[in-house]
Amino acid sequence: MSFIKQIILSKLKNVREAELLAYSRQYQFDITQPEAAKIAAYLKTHQIDPFTASGRAGLIRELAVITNPETAKKANQLFLELIRSNGVEHLFN
């Protein structure tokens, strides 16, 4: 696994509730404090693979359960945009 992939996975595993709330404001998402806590707990306790389409789809499905389908769709769109804008498309299938 590449160094960049390890950094991304580490960030996801260690994201805090407060960071998620700050990102939600920055990127105009509507999530509540309890939702942010559930998302952070899910990321800490589940093995996810954001580098594959099936891994991302599972994560987005779980996000839709925790929040709602519209928020999950926005999160997926933002994720894809961030991948492109940071030039790391080659890391994601």
Of 4, 1, 15, 3, the residue nearest 88 (C-alpha): 4
In tens digits, the chain (93 residues) has pLDDT values of 789 899 999 999 999 999 999 999 999 988 999 999 999 999 999 999 999 999 999 999 999 999 999 999 999 998 899 889 989 889 888
Q: Estimate to the nearest angstrom the gap between the alpha carbon of 74 and the chain centroid.
A: 11
Q: What is the pTM assigned to this prediction?
A: 0.87
- Domain span at residue 22 reads 3-91
Q: 40 with 17: CB under 8 angstroms?
A: yes
Structural domains of the chain, count: 1
